[in-house]
Structure 1
Amino acid sequence: MDNDERPVESEYGTRFVAGRNGSIITSWLRFRGAFEPVLSEFILRHVQEGDYCLDVGANIGYFSLLFAKRVAPSGKVIAIEAAPDTARRLRANLELNKAAGIVDVVEAACAPQKGEVTFYLHPHFDGMSRLTPPPQGKRTRGILGTWTPVTVTADTLTSIVGVDAPRISFIKVDIEGAEAAIAPQLANDFTHPGLVVALEVRAPIDATLAPFQEQGFYVYDLHNDYHWIFERKVPAITEVTYDELYRRRVADVLLSRKELRLA
């Protein structure tokens, strides 16, 4: 087995299938040992044994496995991933970490209704696969090139999660620009009193965060500036106002029904 094929281990003890067709996340892990460490370390502090967690846009399972480490043996993780090859690697990583009994994989896209949708796969950057690619002429499209359309199963987020929705206490969302479409479900249909939601938001940010503001969620800045790629120091999470976020182009945030103890 050459170095490209050996599993990559994070600094949190989780392991990931590598290989030449592995995920961009495994490249970050090989270089840095962690991915988005501010959120990673918050999950390890905040999530408790027995919790139910939801990973929307699970990719290869980096965050799903962090959840699994904390909730086992009596908790549960639901990992949703639409891209077929990425879902296959997700399942392989769950087996590698002996977490398949804790994490349920749902291979589907989150959409307004049940059925099938066109999903766009990026041939080189699996984290860029999405329901809607950047329009022709946009800078991102010029840099990243062409996406490949495939047909995948789809359903509403609430229907995918089903009867477990009231028990979900932590949700991580990374679905490449489709966050606004599911934000009302996140804020209204997941009723756990201690619910925390982590997601990336892009302008117009109010389109995604308004449902949370209306429900009175506290909002916090994860300070995911990607300096973590080169620095070991992990920035502190800080409280932020909705109005401040609405003036930004992009932000990674935590939303919580309860005020968080960050110290």
Structure 2
Amino acid sequence: MKTVHKIAGARAVYRIIRAGRSLLGKTDRGIVVRDGIAYDLDLSQGIDFAIYLGNIYERGTKAALRKLVPASSLVLDIGANIGAHTLHLAQLVGPEGRVIAFEPTDFAFRKLRRNLELNPQLAERVTTCHCFLTETDKTDVPPAIYSSWPLVEKSGLHAKHLGRQMKTESAQSRSLDSILAELADRKVHLVKLDVDGFECDVLRGATTLLRETRPVFVMEVSPYVLEEHGASLEEFLSFFIPNGYAFYDERTLRPLPSSAGELQQMIGDGAGINVVARVNQGSAS
């Protein structure tokens, strides 16, 4: 389902919930607990609202992570936003594991930090990085990046996914290899990557990770947002296929095509597909 359709459905449900809460004298803001994790939510935001509705935000991805993340491992959450997956990953890795979470927008990073504060036991396992991951350190950071999906009508939203750009004034630019050289105390086991079209920017700075460590990747692949940022599905695949990776459906783990043309045809315009990328057994070093 296209994001625009998901948001349209969420907006309809939000209007009903908002009316009911108003009758009870409640606002859109509140702290809730879902699956043992506390969140400070703004129900007018799409991600927050999905968490409020029984923690249904990207349930397929959560299910995949439960299968793929072992205890005591090091995992990366790239595009952490408010921490919906960060906190879940912290549960999965356990007290001996570690999560490094990356978020470039000031708006989402504040919310991420707040949600970690509400869960101090999990927060001990998480290192947060307020940065934009790209090819090299100390390059220009885009002034704004999509990290808000409002459920109320606003101007200036993306035509297809209805996201809103938020400022990155406090973020630094770093390469992933550079940060891991500083922070990684063990081999990276898994990377959750969802950066709305900036995937190639991240991967250009992850040469060592892709060639030597070769962790599992859990990602959303959306060709149209790659193209909006001057990249392409062909370039995206070029970081994985030569390094022995194959792609699988996130839900069924069935093999997916490894050619850009076949993947593009499968995904369609204005949509994305959730995938798992991992190294074939015969390609593992």
Task: Tell me if 1:218 matches 2:234.
Answer: no
Aligned to 1:245: 263
Match of 2:142, as an amino acid? T
The CA deviation at 1:174 is: 1.1
Please list, as runs of the form range in 1=range in 2, the aligned pairs for 1:1-263 lying within 5 A after superposition.
2=26, 4-10=28-34, 12-19=35-42, 23-98=45-120, 99-115=122-138, 116-121=140-145, 125=149, 140-141=158-159, 144=162, 147=165, 150-151=168-169, 152-163=171-182, 164=184, 167-186=187-206, 188-190=208-210, 191-192=212-213, 195-203=215-223, 204-222=232-250, 235-243=251-259, 244-247=262-265, 248-249=267-268, 250-258=272-280
Aligned residues: 233
For 1:64 and 1:210, locate their aligned partners in 2 and report how far apart those are by CA, in whole Å.
Answer: 27
CA RMSD of aligned residues (A): 2.9
Matched AA of 1:239: P
> What percent of counterpart residues are identical?
23
Aligned residue number for residue 229 of structure 1: none
Question: CA deviation digits over 1:60-94, x for unaligned, max 9?
Answer: 11111111001121111000011112111101111
Unmatched runs of 5 consecutive residues or more in structure 1: 127-135, 223-234
Q: For residues 127 and 221 of structure 2, what CA distance do their matches in structure 1 show?
A: 26
CA separation of 1:57/1:165 partners in 2, compared to 1, >3 Å: closer, same or farther?
Answer: farther
CA distance in 2, matches of 1:170, 1:50: 12
CA–CA separation in structure 1 for the residues paired with 2:216 and 2:163: 35
- Contact between 1:38 and 1:236, CA under 8 Å: does it hold in 2? no
What is the CA-CA distance between 1:209 and the residue it aligns to? 1.6
Stretch of structure 1 that moved more, 180-189 or 200-209? 180-189
In structure 2, runs of 5+ residues without a counterpart are 1-24, 151-155, 224-231
- Paired position in structure 2 for 1:129: none
What is the CA-CA distance between 1:205 and the residue it aligns to?
Answer: 1.9
CA distance in 2, matches of 1:122, 1:219: 26
Whichever residue aligns with residue 118 of structure 2, its letter is L
Residue 184 of structure 1 and its aligned partner are, at CA, apart by: 4.4
Contact 2:78 / 2:193 at 8 angstroms: preserved in 1? yes
Larger Rg computed on CA atoms: 2
Moved more, 240-249 or 152-161: 240-249
Cα gap change, 1:146 to 1:100, in 2 (>3 Å): closer
**Partner Cα distance (2:199, 2:148) in 1:** 23
Q: 8 Å contact 2:47–2:149 — kept in the other structure?
A: no
Deviation at 1:143, TM superposition (A): 7.9
